[in-house]
Amino acid sequence: MINSTFQQKFNNLNTTGIKATTTTEKGQSFERVQLPDKNRNYTLVDKKKVDFYVNQGEKALPQLDNILKNSKDEGEVTETLYIVDQMIDKGVKGVDKMYPTLSKYNDTKSPNVQTFLAGIYRKTKVPDAFGPLVKMLIQDSINPPKSPQAFDPTEEVGGAILSYLA
């Protein structure tokens, strides 16, 4: 009885917008991503979760694509973009085919999402991403993200644009 009462309260917490500290995917439990804050200028991700997806290689791309299509949570999006970025570094093929989903975030104001998105575009050099990168750079130059920011999206976006031109 105690166990089911606890589970019911836990489920109620999750449905009222309070996030659990762990997420479960395909039978695996992972720590929830922690975005930078005033005391920490970097994102904390669960290395086990990153490895879980990276080790699956191209087979994991549809699930990551689905997360990006449906997520409205900045932390989850940032973490998923980080995982995709790590997959590119490991030589996983097919990330460029995710551009239609990645482009959903081209107009984001989140410096966290912009930074990782620009890094992915820099590495994949999908031709359709060049224009949105220029737009991001102009947008961030006219309306810079509020300081202090853990990431400087303008620097990453500018670097991505330069890699397209090189």
Going by the DSSP 8-state scheme, the letter that residue 40 receives in this structure is: B
Residues 98, 94: Cα–Cα separation, whole Å: 7
Average pLDDT (66-76) is: 96
Residue 95 in any domain: the answer is: yes
Q: What is the mean pLDDT of the chain?
A: 85
- Is residue 133 within 8 Å of 118, Cβ to Cβ? yes
Residue 143 in any domain: the answer is: yes
Residue 92 in any domain: the answer is: yes
Residue 7 in any domain: the answer is: no
> If residue 25 lies in a helix (H) or strand (E), which one and from where to where?
strand 22-25
| Full-model pTM | 0.82
Residues 54, 48: Cα–Cα separation, whole Å: 10
Going by the DSSP 8-state scheme, the letter that residue 145 receives in this structure is: P
| C-alpha torsion sign, points 119, 124, 130, 132 | negative
Residue 10 in any domain: the answer is: no
The number of distinct structural domains making up the chain is: 1
Residue 65 in any domain: the answer is: yes
CB neighbours of residue 8 within 10 Å: 10
Residue 8 in any domain: the answer is: no
Nearest to 128 by CA among 99, 157, 97, 154: 99
Residue 44 in any domain: the answer is: yes
* Domain carrying residue 88: 20-165
User: Tens digit of pLDDT for each residue in 89-139?
Assistant: 999 999 999 999 999 999 999 999 999 999 999 999 999 999 999 999 999
CB neighbours of residue 76 within 10 Å: 17
pLDDT at position 148, please? 66
Going by the DSSP 8-state scheme, the letter that residue 151 receives in this structure is: S
> What three-state secondary structure class fits 147?
coil
